[in-house]
Amino acid sequence: QVQLAESGGGSVQSGGSLRLSCAASGYTPMRYCMAWFRQAPGKEREGVAYVTTYDTTMYADSVKGRFTISRDNAKNSLYLQMSRLQPEDTAMYYCAAGPIGGTECSLREMSFADWGQGTQVTVSS
């Protein structure tokens, strides 16, 4: 079973940047789909962005043009570069891996088999 560990969260002012990382360990066959989700206090978890093994990406409308998702398959790592952060980006950010052998990608929670524990991002105005 794969373990996913996020890092890079923190507190920044509005307009600032952060880079989140997710390291996969344990049994880590390549997953076609990897994604970032986030959950703000009192809200449901929402998909932020995904990336496939072919580097196809998709972003939620709320982060398009500000966030960039990428992956390094050789390092079993996933990244999220976040720029022009706004207070509404404040949330716990989670790394998610699609199922082994999967061939599809989406931002639906049910599509992901493994999750990290999350890293907190707080943006102040």
Q: Tell me what pLDDT residue 64 has.
A: 98
Residues 88, 86: Cα–Cα separation, whole Å: 5
**Residues facing residue 49 across a β-bridge:** 36, 59
Phi, psi of 81, rounded to the nearest 5 degrees:
-90, 120
Q: Is the pLDDT of residue 1 over 80?
A: no
Q: Is the pLDDT of residue 100 over 90?
A: no
pLDDT in tens, 58-99: 999 999 999 999 999 999 999 999 999 999 999 999 999 998
